[in-house]
Structure formats: C-alpha cells, structure tokens
Structure 1
C-alpha cells in the first residue's frame, strides 16, 4: 500500500495539477498498471498452485508460501526503504523499483529450484513494496483536492483488474503453456510499463533533507490505530480465503471453474471500486461498514455452500463488492486520520497490509493441513467480528461519519 506525499507548492508540476480542472488520466492509468502488475504478481500463485507445486516438487501448501514470502519482502522493508529514500526524486525511484520487480519476476519464471524461487519472490516483494510506497501519494498529488478520491480510485483499480482479469489469464497461461509463461508475461508487461511511466508520469521531489517518518508518534494520533487494526485483520481474512481459493473450490467439485469464479469476483470488485471512488468523499464510514458486512455475508454463504455453484457465485459477488473498494477506503481513512503525518501512516499501512498477506498464506496453510479447506470461510467470519466492532467504535476518529476537509 502506498504512502501519501506532501505537496510542494514550489513545484510547477504540482501547481498545475492542483489548479487543473481535469485528472491526468494517462498518468493515473500508468499508476493503475503498476498496481495491477504488483497485485497480480503477489496473488498469481493462487491460480497456479497445482502447477507450481508440480514444477517445484513441493506440496501445494508449500507452494502457497510463495505468496507469504512476497508479502514478507514488502512488510519487512516498506518502512525502512521509505525512510531511506525519502529525499529521492519520486519518478526515478518508481522506475528503479519497477525495474527490480521485473528482474525478480524473470528469475521466478526461469527457476525450477524452490529456494531460488522463494528468494526471487522475496526480492519481488521488496521492489513492489517500494513502488507501493509511492503510488497513492502520486495519485493524490496529481489531482485537485476535490478529485483526489477519484484519482486514488483510478490508481487502485489495478487491484480488482488483477483479480478479475489477471489471475484467470495467468491460470490459463499456466495451464496451457506452463507456469513459467505466466511470470514471463509479467516481465514483458513491466518493460512496457517502464516506458509508459517515463513518458506520462510527472516527477515530484522527495522530502527535504532531515525529513523522517515518525512512526510511533503517528500511531498515537486518534483514529490511526483503528484504521491499522482494521487493515491488518480485514486483509488477513481475505488472504486466508483467496490464497487457497483453487483448493477450496476443488473441495466443492468446482476446481475447473476457478478462472470463472475469479473473473466474477474481480468484476464485482470493479463495481465496488467505482462506487467507492464516487462516494468516499462523503460516505467513508458507511462504505467501511458495508464492506465488512458484505464480506461476512459471503463467508457465511461459502460455509454452507455444499457444492452449489449458484450459492458459490452469489457469495463471490458479495465478496468482491466488499473487497474491491477496501484499498481506497483504508488508504483514505489512514491519510485523513494522520493529517500531516500521512507519510508515516501509509508506510505503516503498507507494512501491516503485507504482514496480513504473509500471515494469511501461513494461517491458510496451517488450516488446510489441520482442518481442511472447509475451515476457511468459518475462519473469515471469526476474523471479521472484531473488524466490524472497531469500525463501529471509531465513529469520532478513523471512520468518522463526516470526513474533515484535508489536503495531503
């Protein structure tokens, strides 16, 4: 998850973006493409577990830990890398991060050794984490204040696109041509994206020398801790189910429909992110409550699905509607709560997000081995209870009924 950067009024590029009446669509779409590639690469093994298990000569549970290592790479390095590169020009840093990301994907594609693959996945997570530490800030800085929610929604649209189109396409490529082909396609798309970013994305200065990320102080700001807690547990619940969705569907006799199920999930997520972008400026709290309830309803249906395709598809639609807008909701809530310390809040958010991704892969693997795939939706329900309680309790700060007017 990216961190919001502070505008520099002296920058002519920023002034133009502030005063311009329209969004810089091509630049925002380039950021969305970066979100798409990093999100897809993180979750791609979810659709390729059987192929990766066979190709690396390990169990499906072990293959699922490629998601865990990727997330750990981001979680362990997001805050220190963000702090260490705070003074660097943003565009150069984004290009370097994406280039490293492409190199790591190439190693993943060509490797048949489990340890080398895990190392490459960790490196990809590090590069992606650095990119994520820039993306939301870019989106907000390129837009006038009243359009920042829409700008962030456009940038974050890469997530449901990755889930709706990318993972099914990757699953198809992996099945038809082998798992290596899916990751090589990621490398090729990254090369194209590097040119796109270079041509369309404006540059921004980093923080002045001496700037730092006051992590502990920011965590004590009213509203920040509730948003971070919700991020951690909500994403953990999602990852437990999503990482092993192919395995869960196989249990229901729907393994062959994994790509179609993911397509429906992603389509519903696209609807969610569009709706969130249109209404977040005035209805952040309502959207957060609705997202949690929709996800819980989906988990309840999956818990009693018993192999009914109609129930599974209905549950997946509800899941997508609850999940799609979550990145925009949580990033906006964190930035609003932290105010001038938004950089630190977003750095902590991206760290906890990926801790949750890593934890979801690990917890899912344990649940699969100990209780079987049927335990996944019940685990999601248990996790969402405290999420809902915290969202409801954070009425004054974190998830307020009315957002304060802020500039990032």
Structure 2
C-alpha cells in the first residue's frame, strides 16, 4: 500500500470527524443555545452546503496553488473555524463558524482525493480512492464516537476542541511526510462544471446526492431515531462505532472488487439492501438487538456507495478526474444539506421513529438514477470508437 494514501486519508479522517460528530452532541448544543434539535441540526447543514458550493469554486480559483500548500491552508482554516465554534457565544456565530469550517474542508477534500487518484497507476485507482475514503469511515468508527463521549462526559464545546486537535495532527502529518506534488493543469470554473453537460456524469452525481441524503437523514438525527434504546453515552458511542466499523470493512473489501468487476452491480446491491434496512428501521429501532443489527447493515451498505461512485466518475472522465471528483464532493454535501432540511421536516411530520421512511424514498430514487446512468454508459460504449467505460 502506498503510504502517501494513508497520509491523505488522515486528513479526510479530520474532516469526517467534524462532519459526523455534531450529530452526537445535537441535544447538548440545542440546550446551550435554547433551541430545538431540528434547528441545531442546521449546524451540519451550513457546514455541508458551504463544503458543497465552495469545492468546485475554490478548486478553480486556486488552480495555480501548489497542492500541498492548498491542503495545509484548508486544514488551517478548518482548525481555526472549529475552535471558533467551540467558543461561540451564540447560535448565529456558531453557524458562521461552521460555514468557515466548510470552506476549509472544500479546500482540502477534492484536492486530496484527486491527488490520490493521480499518484497511482490507473489499475490501482479503485484501491486508492477507497483507501482515502476509508479516512471518512474511520472517522465514524473512531473520531465521532470519541467526540460524542467527550461531549457526554463534559461539555459539547470540548468536542469541537477535539476536532480541532485532530485537524492539527493531520496538517502536521502532511507537512512532515508528504512531498510536493506536481501541479495539474489549471482548470477554470466553467471547465470544471462542463462535465455536467454529459448526461451520464449528471446521473451519477444525482445518485451520489440521493444516496447520501438517504444516509444522513438518519445519521444527523441519530439521537432521536434511536432514543428508545440509547440508555447511556457509552452505548451511543458504541453504536456509532458499529456504523463506522461496518463502512471501514466494506471499503477494504470493495477496493479489489471494483478494480475487477466494476461498480454497477455493487451499487445495485448496496442500495437495495439500504431500502430494505430503512423500511424495517421504524420497528427495529425500538429494541437494542434489532437496532444493533440494523445499524451494522446500514454501515456496511451505506458506506459501500461512495467508492463505486468515485470509480465510476474517474472511468467516465479520467483526464478530468480532479474536476469530476470535486463535483462528486459537492453532490455528497448537497445530499447532506438536503438531509438536514428533510430530517427537520420529517421530525415534525412523522416523528423521529418513522424518519427512515424518508430514507427509503431517497434510496429508491438513487437506484433509478444509478441504473439510468449505467444504461447511458452502455449505449455510449456500443458506439464504435468509444472507449469502454466502467458501468
């Protein structure tokens, strides 16, 4: 395994911890700022939408900035923004600081992902992408539960300090261990958005958005969905570890399967499993044993989506890998943004225990767009002279 990929994954671990840990301390944040859990959940929404909208923009404007410097600058902003959240005197300033944390993430994540895809051989791209993505799943298995426990034992503000420390360690690792990376060609914002004119790319991105919205409509309000079984902070952390651990194992296995078989059927299986799991969740979340089983399945299948999606996009546009992966990052966090809004509405309309019904609809729609993308890719492959692309 290329050790440089592990360094890049460490930075993703920091960003992932920040993305996921807020869900674990939402009730405490709501109490501090005298608001309800649905409104407090918009801290995740603001972070996600800043991340989504700024990823392609920053990548275009910073096209001439050395890759290492851009990643370190992004992590620096990220660390300071999380410290600002920790010491925010009111909810408004907390929201603003979350937007700046999203800016730092937007500077780092697409740069790290595209760098990983470029520094390995073409036949190793699937493995490279899933290793970097494993930084996010490791954040759910380790970073988020640790942060949740810290917030439960003390104050949620110490959770944000913990996130800042993780980001600082990631920056130190990159500064000390990662050599300078050759500059890619500068690409304008217009050119970065050009792949959206390809219907195949648009459908793949739509699949990412819908699938991640389905995942995070539950994760963002985890404490409400599973409140019938969450008897202690330690149990809360353990269930988050279970979710993230399932995803970590999935990415390790898929790294080789993708390079051998391609992503289409992996996606169909994972999304179908998620539909069934979410349909049963209103019942399963009422008992501890069934909650454990449902969360384990959700972790395995939910995190099994991103690797195939990234692999698919790089196969569609290998010469524009930084561009399409940046757009995929934007689609991911637009999905998280939609999840925050849908989840808040679902809490009022259906109640927390039935929130999974929103996820079922989103995952079914993701299957539809995924299969439409596969058929478009097959049709393009059938045209003489076209390159054979992964489906």
Same fold by TM-score greater than 0.5 = yes
The equivalent position to 2:51 in structure 1, one of 63, 74, 97, is 74
| Residues 1:214 and 2:214 aligned together | no
- State how far apart, in whole Å, the 2-side matches of 1:266 and 1:385 are: 23
Aligned residues: 381
- State how far apart, in whole Å, the 2-side matches of 1:373 and 1:108 are: 27
| Residues 1:269 and 2:260 aligned together | no
Could you tell me whether the CA contact under 8 Å between 1:364 and 1:376 is conserved in 2?
yes
Could you tell me whether the CA contact under 8 Å between 2:111 and 2:322 is conserved in 1?
no
The range that moved more, 202-211 or 30-39, is 202-211
Cα RMSD (Å):
2.1
The equivalent position to 2:256 in structure 1, one of 239, 260, 278, is 278
For residue 384 of structure 2, what is the aligned residue in structure 1?
none
Could you tell me whether the CA contact under 8 Å between 1:100 and 1:124 is conserved in 2?
yes
Could you tell me whether the CA contact under 8 Å between 2:82 and 2:163 is conserved in 1?
yes
Structure 2's unaligned 5+ residue stretches are 382-386
| Residues 1:127 and 2:104 aligned together | yes
The equivalent position to 1:336 in structure 2, one of 306, 315, 318, is 315
For residue 96 of structure 1, what is the aligned residue in structure 2?
73
Could you tell me whether the CA contact under 8 Å between 2:77 and 2:104 is conserved in 1?
yes
Change (3 A) 1:210 1:364: closer
| Residues 1:362 and 2:344 aligned together | no
The equivalent position to 1:288 in structure 2, one of 249, 267, 276, is 267
Matches within 5 A, 1:297-376: 297-305=276-284, 307-376=286-355
| Residues 1:379 and 2:355 aligned together | no
Change (3 A) 1:399 1:65: farther
Matches within 5 A, 1:2-401: 23-25=1-3, 27-208=4-185, 213-250=190-227, 252-256=228-232, 257-283=235-261, 284-305=263-284, 307-397=286-376
Change (3 A) 1:385 1:189: closer
Q: How many Å apart are 1:346 and its aligned residue? A: 2.0
Q: How many Å apart are 1:397 and its aligned residue? A: 4.5
Q: How many Å apart are 1:211 and its aligned residue? A: 5.2
Residues 56-80 of structure 1, C-alpha deviations (whole Å, 9 max, x = no match): 2221111111100100111221121
Could you tell me whether the CA contact under 8 Å between 2:23 and 2:222 is conserved in 1?
yes
Could you tell me whether the CA contact under 8 Å between 1:221 and 1:337 is conserved in 2?
no
User: Under a length normalisation based on structure 1, what TM-score does the superposition of the two structures give?
Assistant: 0.88
Change (3 A) 1:118 1:344: same
Could you tell me whether the CA contact under 8 Å between 1:88 and 1:205 is conserved in 2?
no
Change (3 A) 1:192 1:360: same
Could you tell me whether the CA contact under 8 Å between 2:51 and 2:330 is conserved in 1?
yes
2:374 is paired with a residue of what secondary structure? coil
Q: How many Å apart are 1:294 and its aligned residue? A: 1.8
Q: How many Å apart are 1:227 and its aligned residue? A: 0.6
Could you tell me whether the CA contact under 8 Å between 2:114 and 2:325 is conserved in 1?
no
Residues 274-330 of structure 1, C-alpha deviations (whole Å, 9 max, x = no match): 111121112311211111012112202212226122221111111111122322221
Q: How many Å apart are 1:93 and its aligned residue? A: 0.6
Could you tell me whether the CA contact under 8 Å between 1:222 and 1:337 is conserved in 2?
no
